[in-house]
Structure 1
Amino acid sequence: MSINTPAATPAPTGIGPFEKWLSVWVGAAILAGLLLGNLVPGLFQRLAAFEYASVNLVVAVLIWAMVYPMMVGVDFKSLRQVGAKPKGLVVTIVVNWLVKPFTMAALGVLFFEYVFADLIAPTDAEQYLAGLILLGAAPCTAMVFVWSQMTRGDPNYTLVQVSVNDVIMVFAFAPIVAMLLGVTDLVVPWMTLLLSVGLYIVIPLLAGALTRMKLGQGTRSKLEEDAAVARFSARVKPASVFGLLVTVVLLFGFQAEVILDQPLVILLIAVPLLIQSYGIFFAAYFAARAWRLPFTIAAPCALIGTSNFFELAVAVAISLFGLGSGAALATVVGVLVEVPVMLSLVAFANRTKHWFPAD
């Protein structure tokens, strides 16, 4: 049973060639970044110099190109349906905001301050930990629709989950990050952090809401409005794809020397990320099973907490710590790890669909 909305038209959920071969495209962008970063390091140094108030302008434009189409898909009207089937939202909110940021920080402390203490310099360990905290405090937005579609989740309920998540993120991201960074004894530049939240969450969210309002003018029903949004999203999707791939090229280009000189670091950063990803998924998935949620809600509910809003994490890491920082590198490793992990979890969820009651 779906949430009772006037139409069942989902936010952008169709899986095209890009989503189907996402690991390939991201992998190619990573290799291109590493190659170019070593062949033409001067180019990346010049790009890194385009900075204002600790914000790299090139990366900012690319992040906006990625984030804006996602925010157009956020339907604030769906928030009216929050109380219709609250259990899935409770699991999502608890996992995303009361569990995930803190388990990520705890795993980071465990591995970088204890398990890997003899392999990583303390100053580098602090930076990697900061990057993991930024990833842990930024639950996924756009790709959730892809994972939901791959598990045949309820598209309207997924839209409600994402909309609620994004509203919470506006208010909770900065305080949670500041608190956890403070716990790790890193100095928190509050103004830069708040500027990043404004640039990469508030402004795109407002722009998306205004765009959606404009697209809805002249439509006679929710169905027509959703269709107009879907057409617009399809038109701007190439810009989002371009922004993602070029961002990955730049990030790995900026970090090329470090990555090739210290490949072990990538593996070490990936270890807590992998434990976190699978741990968070199974915590949410089995909570949903224990609460007897239908599979169409349970699967997206677990996947939304597992996946990260890495675009935001990357942008804030660059703003707070710089393009060549260990924090930025850790968020980039998050991009590398996420896609294969999520595809494996989608496959697991589809194989265990029978564990859940029918809608």
Structure 2
Amino acid sequence: MSTFERYLTIWVAACIVVGIALGQAFPTVFHAIGGAEIAKVNLPVAGLIWLMVIPMLLKIDFSALGQVGRHWRGIGVTLFINWAVKPFSMALLGWLFIGWLFRPLLPETQVGSYIAGLIILAAAPCTAMVFVWSNLTKGEPHFTLSQVALNDSIMVIAFAPIVALLLGLSAITVPWDTLILSVVLYIVLPVIAAQMLRRILLIGGSTRRLDGLLARLQPLSLVALLATLVLLFGFQGEQILAQPAVIGLLAVPILIQVYFNAGLAYLLNRLSGEEHCIAGPSALIGASNFFELAVAAAISLFGFNSGAALATVVGVLIEVPVMLTVVWIVNHSKGWYERGLPARKPIASERV
């Protein structure tokens, strides 16, 4: 691990402070950058996410995707967490903290809207950033890609009914433009670009050029991650300073939900005998959220200035720093995790 990676937590904290400060010092600039979006998908952030996900996508060999079936336990655990646990646990946490414990500290007229925003946030599994988290935990790239693709397929069918059920609505308006654009922008296009580049680099049969590029891209990927953090906190700096107490209270159930779902997925994978390179991305996919879709759905249902929209924005703000702590836990518990597994032959990705 490089010195830069070793002190990543410090850089993250610095980027949060810098982002808020720059957002206040240059509001016009950040408003302009924040306004460069299509269907609630911010294009500058999308470009940075491309830089973050390309290193993992370059590692994917489509001829090896058929091996993913051997990790059916990890796939089952992740689907169980994403669709049978996460939305319902967030509804419970939202009611407990926002609807009861913190209720006297929050605007009474917005309490129901805050809970709705939390539920919307939890009902949409993450699409793009999980490639970053998986890469940081040395996760199996083929499993990560196939799991994200499977979640996106289920989300098209299940997102609206789950949200409608938990919010007590007869129907909801799904922001299809955001959903489709995000899948194309964050999965389809970067996968195609990465595979084309991979084929070019592997001409001649040697992996030397591919390995060299991956080594150069790794620090660039982390810089893009930190730049994304600066932008996200710069966009929302005014909100943070205007309503710090509300944002802090909304963050509590989100934090608990992230650690609960990540921990549950991690433990279930260990109990099932799944390998660490699968358990890591499984835990991270199970805990993270598709915040572009959540923000768009909250705005379309409740309005731009609603408590629901604010709750989803809080999810955006804590996504990167909190998921990095989950990455740290997964990496530092690898020895403990593997001591509980039966002896087995390493999979192909571990022999490389």
Q: TM-score, normalised by structure 1?
A: 0.75
Letter in 2 for 1:145: N
Q: From 251, 257, 260, give the equivalent of 1:270.
A: 251
Of 49-58 and 17-26, deviating more is: 49-58
**1:70 to partner: Cα distance:** 4.4
- Change beyond 3 A, Cα 1:77–1:127: farther
Q: Is there any run of 5+ residues in structure 1 with no aligned partner, and where?
A: 1-14, 150-154
Q: Is the counterpart of residue 168 in structure 1 residue 177 in structure 2?
A: no
- Residue 265 of structure 2 corresponds to residue 284 of structure 1: yes
Q: What is aligned with 1:142? A: 132
| Residues 284 and 178 of structure 1: CA distance in aligned 2, closer, same or farther (over 3 Å) | same
Q: Which amino acid aligns with 1:304?
A: L
Q: Which amino acid aligns with 1:126?
A: S
How far has the Cα of 1:166 moved from its partner?
1.8
**In 2: Cα distance, 1:218 partner to 1:266 partner:** 46
CA gap 1:336/1:355 in 2 versus in 1, 3 angstroms: same
Cα pair distance change 1:244/1:317, threshold 3 Å: farther
Q: Which moved more, 1:69-78 or 1:39-48?
A: 69-78
Contact persistence 2:163–2:172 (CA under 8 A): yes
What residue number does 1:8 align with?
Answer: none
The equivalent position to 1:89 in structure 2, one of 47, 50, 75, is: 75
Rate the CA distance shift 1:85–1:63 in 2: closer, same or farther, 3 A.
Answer: closer
Aligned position for 1:152? none
Unaligned runs of 5+ in 2: 345-352
What amino acid sits opposite 2:340 in the alignment?
Answer: W
Cα distance in 2 for partners of 1:218, 1:339 equals 31
Which of 306, 322, 325 is matched with 1:340 structurally?
325
Q: Aligned in 2, Cα 1:168/1:197: closer, same or farther, shift over 3 Å? A: same
**Corresponding residue SS for 1:333:** helix
| Residue of structure 2 equivalent to 1:304 | 284
Which of the numbers 278, 286, 293 marks the counterpart of 1:316?
A: 293
Letter in 2 for 1:328: V
Q: CA deviation at 1:32?
A: 0.5
Equivalent position SS for 1:142: helix
TM-score scaled by structure 2?
A: 0.76
The residue correspondences of 1:1-359 to structure 2 (distance < 5 A) are 15-121=1-107, 122-123=109-110, 126-127=113-114, 129-130=116-117, 133-134=120-121, 137-139=124-126, 140-147=130-137, 149=138, 158-182=140-164, 183-184=166-167, 188-190=172-174, 193-214=175-196, 215-216=198-199, 219=202, 224=206, 229-237=210-218, 240-291=221-272, 293=273, 296=276, 299-300=279-280, 303-308=283-288, 313-320=290-297, 321=299, 325-326=309-310, 327-351=312-336, 353-359=338-344
Match of 1:7 in 2: none
Partners of 2:227 and 2:50 in 1: CA distance:
12
Supply the distance in 2 between the matched residues of 1:298 and 1:239 (Cα, whole angstroms).
25
1:283, 1:127 → 2: CA distance? 25
State the Cα distance separating 1:218 from its structure 2 match.
7.9
* Partners of 1:294 and 1:57 in 2: CA distance: 37
- Whether the 8 Å CA contact 2:39–2:181 is kept in 1: the answer is no
Aligned residues: CA RMSD: 3.5
CA separation in 1, counterparts of 2:218 and 2:160?
33
Amino acid corresponding to residue 276 of structure 2 in structure 1: T
Deviation at 1:137, TM superposition (A): 2.9
- The answer to whether the Cα contact below 8 Å between 2:30 and 2:234 also exists between their aligned partners in 1 is yes
- Post-superposition Cα deviations, 1:230-275, rounded to whole Å, max 9, x if no partner, equal 4444444455434322222122122222222333334323322332
The amino acid across from 1:35 in the alignment is A
Percentage of matched positions with identical amino acids: 29
